[in-house]
Amino acid sequence: MTKQKIVKSVSHKTPEPQKASEDALACLPVSFATRGVRTPFTTKTLRYARVAIGKSGRSMIMLPGLAGGLGTYELPLDTLRDVFDLSVHDRMLFDRLLELENIRPGTVLEHARAVAVTGVGGVELARTAIERDAYEKSSRELGQLAVLHQALLQLGGSAVQDMQREELMTMEGQVRARKALNRFASEHKVANDTIIDSLGEWSKMIAPVGLELDGCQGALRVLTRSLRKFATDIEEWANSEQSDFRFMAGRVSSATKATYKHALLCVEEVDSWNGELGKVLTDWEGAKQNIGKTIEKLWWLLDGWQEMIDLWQKRPVTDRAKQREIIEEVASFTPVLPIEEITKDEQQFWVDIRVNQMLWAGELRKLGSGEIDADMVDRLERFRRQSA
Amino acid sequence: MKVEDAGKLGVSQLGQLFESLSGSEIARFTRAIESDRVDPKLPLPHEAILQILRPRLASLKPERYPTPMRQFCDPFEDLLTSAEPSDKSIRISRSSLMPIWGVVTGVNDPHFSEAMKEIEAAAAVRDSAKLAIAESKLWKAGARIIEDQIARSQEGVKEERALATRLGSRIHLKAFGEVGRILNVGEEIGQVRARFPSAPIRGLDGNDVTWLRDRFVEISQSKPGFEPMFLLAVLARLLRPSELFKLIRVLSNKADDRTIEKTNLAETGDLIIDLLAETVSEIEQGVGTGKDEAHILSLARWYASEFTRITREFKIRKDGRWGEKLLETRRRVSRALADTMFGATPERVIDALPKMEVRQGPGSGAKGLARPLFSQDFDYEKVLAAEKSAEAIAETARISDVLAAQSSAAKAVVELKKKLNQIGRAGVDGMGRLAPEEIPNAQRNLMATVRLLEIVDGPEDADVLRRRGMSAIRALTSQKAS
């Protein structure tokens, strides 16, 4: 691809001021797909970048990742290496992303983890990825057992009410369980194996959310819960701040709470199916689609939040000035919800967050901690000028 | 829970309880405890409870219950330090507070006692206007008491020793005098704190500078001689001391620092540079212990940015009053970094990776082939520390021109690159002889070398090494599979 072609496809989407006032909603991404998936590049200039499938079906990268919409640079993903000096970690991630046909938070995370565990991005990144992978693996395995146990208690009748979850790990326990479930299958005219298969499929499917039981909570459930604590922490922190930071932190806290509410609805929906296993298993194909949709929505809703929480968690304990810088960064890059996912009543709230974000991101640039952003804009502009 | 029940709980129970309380509940609880401490009605271990609350309070920063001593310390709160300040430091040690307070209250000055009572009364009814009046009275009386005490101590050696005895130690004498001088401008500092309630102040804009200039001019008319104390308080509240040069530039019509000693601002400029010198001492101490390069880096970065800002804000000349002092600090930084950051640290980076000299593995026999380099153990902790050290070296090298440490930085970086490349090459070359079970470990060693090389030399050569290493591993696995 020639540089000219690349430049044509680089669009700087900041509209004229009068256009923004005409349609305030223009500053919000339309859908999750247009908001894109947060991609954990380590190259400083690519912080908070998002990857999405563009209108033409081509993978695009959005910078500086301000959740799509206003003030975001967009360029085809495959041109990324022509514009930026990528870190070795990012080169590996980039190679994988280019191959991805389906850009979703779950798949991007999977690839990002696969790169991180190699250690190419440093020991800390590798360690976090390994720990999270291990936790998810164990919650998935324990969750599968718990799902089977739950199914037994709900559907297996009085004969298996005394069974403990641990017994399912023994051969004898499995035989007992199978017998009990066979009874349910024949009563509801479903093939025996189908019930077992569906249960297996079910437990795998809900693994990212998991169950509300100790050790069985999936990553998305944990993250949803972390959102609530994050909002409270930030609110508490802001109490002693001056008005500007209180305002900024207040917006972060409200945005977090608003996202939490949406996420909680999804988690509750998954849990409500858990309570009606019989219904789900007798029409597994139908239920599968609905559950899949809800979990996918939850992935998108929470995309980008883990980084915000991690950033806050790593704050220095006493250095207030540094803590403020972190709040500024979190405020500037808090993921906004797209128009499709919010009600009319919520629109003004998110527009307000988004408009303020642009001011804060500007401040971040001015104050030096965001010099990288200025550098990035400079590179993009230079690239465009050179190729014109 | 009722406040009176707090005394019945153990430390860990209290800790757990406080964890579960919200910010506003903690603030209310603290206020209740502090209020009871002034006039105890409940048999509570006030201090112990407050001690447990302290970490949470540091993050919450709720409005504290006004006590005479707390209000007395307000004007110099930003100058307080828990560490032992050096002779030249502008800081006041927290350990000096009680001795000073003891001497000031021990005088039984009627005005001071009256002000204390008024503070307690105003605090009990939460009357901030009355509190402000009482504070001002307290500061004035406090300043006068300290002045009198110092004047008397200067009458002779015996008198001086007597004051030192009352303070408990001679080391508090300096802080005693400083507190007295600051209290003279307590009211004006109060105005600064009201204008900039959130410390530290991030930056001064044009309006702030004008406002501060007006206060400075007022003080120079009403309390001549105390201007530097006012500026000192402002300085302590600033995130970056160099910001104060904005004010100095407005107040002084001099173009550079050669003639600055003729103005009353000279002392303040000295203070800023002394503050910078404190950072330099910290760098030297940090380097001395040689443990945390990341910390030294943050100090060096801070120093470099302050140095640049000062020289940009004000024309500092080599032969000027501040120029000489400033360059002396830079010489010290340069020396400290050359000695260790660029001297010993590169060795520590290399030390985390497989050792080139350990060629013979157990059981390989005297004439046998050397064990592949990357089959050696991988130590997460060591590599993590090495990454941090390498980052510190690379970052410091980037600002070495400001620190006048280019040559030692360049030498360290070149040396480190050379060694990392050697290890990388030798490691990849030996990969063909890896046993299958050694592959995961070898990959970790490879990636650690890649990462370290990238930190000091950028991604290009590091990526080539990674590709070479990964294709060696691929060849090995496909060979083993077939």
Chain B residues close to A232, C-beta within 8 Å: 22
Chain B residues close to A122, C-beta within 8 Å: 384, 387, 451
**A324 touching B (Cβ < 8 Å):** yes
Record: contact A120-B450, CB cut-off 8 A: yes
Q: How many domains does chain B have?
A: 3
Q: pLDDT above 90 covers what percent of chain B? A: 38
Question: How would you list the strands of the sheet with A37-38, edge to edge?
Answer: A11-12, A73-76, A59-63, A50-53, A37-38
**Which of A120, A131, A233, A327 to substitute to test the interface with B, most B CBs within 10 Å?**
A120
Give the whole-angstrom CA distance, residue B252 versus residue B254: 5
Helix (H, G, I), strand (E, B) or coil at B308: helix
Q: Which residue of A has its CA nearest to B200?
A: A321
Average pLDDT on B336-352 reads 80
Our CA dihedral for B1, B3, B7, B11, rounded to 10 degrees, sits at: 60
Q: Residue B332: inside a domain, yes or no?
A: no
Record: contact B451-A119, CB cut-off 8 A: yes
Say yes or no: B46 and B135 in one domain: no
Say yes or no: B89 and B191 in one domain: yes
Say yes or no: B59 and B117 in one domain: no
Distance of CA B284 to the CA centre of its chain: 14
Q: Residue B120: inside a domain, yes or no?
A: yes
Q: Residue B299: inside a domain, yes or no?
A: no
Chain B residues close to A239, C-beta within 8 Å: 23-24, 27, 60-62
Greatest Cα pair distance in chain B: 97
**B452 touching A (Cβ < 8 Å):** no
Give the whole-angstrom CA distance, residue B98 versus residue B72: 12
Q: Which residues, in sequence order, are CB contacts of A366 under 8 Å at separation 6+?
A: none
The CA angle A48-A54-A60, to the nearest 5 degrees, is 40
What phi and psi values does residue B128 have, to the nearest 5 degrees? -70, -30
Record: contact B62-A242, CB cut-off 8 A: no
Say yes or no: B77 and B57 in one domain: no
Domain end (from B45, B65, B85): B65
Q: In this structure, what DSSP letter does residue B316 have? A: -
Q: Residue B322: inside a domain, yes or no?
A: no
Global pTM reads 0.77
Residue at B454: amino acid letter? E
Say yes or no: B163 and B178 in one domain: yes
Q: In this structure, what DSSP letter does residue B367 have? A: S
Say yes or no: B33 and B138 in one domain: no
Q: Residue B278: inside a domain, yes or no?
A: no
Task: Reply yes or no on whether the pLDDT at B9 is more than 50.
Answer: yes
Chain A residues close to B387, C-beta within 8 Å: 122-124
Q: Residue B454: inside a domain, yes or no?
A: yes
Computed on alpha carbons and rounded to an integer, the radius of gyration of chain B in Å comes to 30
Name the residue among A308, A176, A327, A307 with its Cα closest to residue A242.
A327
Q: Using CB atoms, which residue from B58, B62, B447 is nearest to A119?
A: B447
Record: contact A367-B202, CB cut-off 8 A: yes
Record: contact A239-B61, CB cut-off 8 A: yes
**E strand or H helix at A266:** helix A243-274
Tokens in use for B478?
A: 């496909």
Say yes or no: B49 and B88 in one domain: no
Say yes or no: B229 and B148 in one domain: yes
Say yes or no: B44 and B159 in one domain: no
Q: In this structure, what DSSP letter does residue B201 have? A: B
Say yes or no: B112 and B189 in one domain: yes
Tell the burial category of A19 from Cβ atoms under 10 Å away from its Cβ (0-12, 13-18, 19+): exposed
Least Cα separation, residue B353 to chain A (angstroms): 13
**Which of B195, B399, B447 to substitute to test the interface with A, most A CBs within 10 Å?**
B447
Local confidence pLDDT in tens for the 388 residues of chain A:
333 333 334 444 443 333 334 477 888 889 999 999 999 999 887 888 999 988 888 899 988 644 444 467 788 899 888 888 899 999 999 999 999 988 999 999 999 999 999 999 999 999 999 999 999 999 998 988 888 888 888 888 887 888 888 888 888 888 888 888 888 888 877 777 777 788 888 888 999 999 998 889 999 999 999 999 999 999 988 887 877 888 999 999 999 999 999 999 999 999 998 888 888 888 888 889 999 999 999 999 999 999 999 999 999 887 888 898 899 889 988 999 999 999 999 999 999 998 888 777 765 554 444 444 556 666 666 666 665 5
Domain end (from B194, B211, B238): B238
Say yes or no: B228 and B114 in one domain: yes
Q: Which residues, in sequence order, are CB contacts of A208 under 8 Å at separation 6+?
A: A106, A136, A218, A219, A220, A295, A298, A299
Q: Residue B365: inside a domain, yes or no?
A: yes
Our CA dihedral for A313, A318, A321, A325, rounded to 10 degrees, sits at: 0
Say yes or no: B103 and B231 in one domain: yes
Give the whole-angstrom CA distance, residue B82 versus residue B375: 48
Task: Tell me: cis bond preceding A64? Omega within 30 of 0 counts.
Answer: yes
Give the whole-angstrom CA distance, residue B415 versus residue B451: 16
Percentages helix, strand, coil for chain A, rounded to the nearest 5? 70, 5, 25
Tokens 């063909």 found at: B432
Greatest Cα pair distance in chain A: 77
The answer to whether the beta carbons of residues A215 and A142 sit under 8 Å apart is yes
Chain B residues close to A320, C-beta within 8 Å: 199-200
**B450 touching A (Cβ < 8 Å):** yes
The answer to whether the beta carbons of residues B464 and A139 sit under 8 Å apart is no
Give the whole-angstrom CA distance, residue A207 versus residue B367: 54
Tokens in use for B245?
A: 């040069």
pLDDT tens, residue by residue, B84-132: 877 777 889 989 999 999 999 999 999 999 999 999 999 888 888 999 9
Chain B residues close to A120, C-beta within 8 Å: 447, 450-451, 466
The count of C-alpha atoms lying within 13 angstroms of the C-alpha of B121, restricted to the half-sphere facing its C-beta, is 10
Domain end (from B192, B219, B238): B238
pLDDT of residue B315: 75
Chain A residues close to B451, C-beta within 8 Å: 88, 119-122
Least Cα separation, residue A318 to chain B (angstroms): 7
**B27 touching A (Cβ < 8 Å):** yes
What phi and psi values does residue B389 have, to the nearest 5 degrees? -65, -45
Boundaries of domain holding B88: 71-238
Tokens in use for B206?
A: 């044009």
Record: contact A241-B198, CB cut-off 8 A: yes
Name the residue among B391, B273, B406, B240 with its Cα closest to residue B337.
B406
pLDDT tens, residue by residue, B60-79: 666 778 889 999 999 999 99
Q: Distances in Å between the alpha carbon of B239 and those of A315, A342, B275?
A: 17, 41, 12
User: Interface pTM (ipTM) of the complex?
Assistant: 0.83
Q: Residue B117: inside a domain, yes or no?
A: yes
Q: Which residue of B has its CA nearest to A121?
A: B451
Give the whole-angstrom CA distance, residue B477 versus residue B482: 9
pLDDT tens, residue by residue, A188-233: 777 777 777 888 888 889 999 999 988 899 999 999 999 999 999 9
Tokens in use for A310?
A: 């991690």
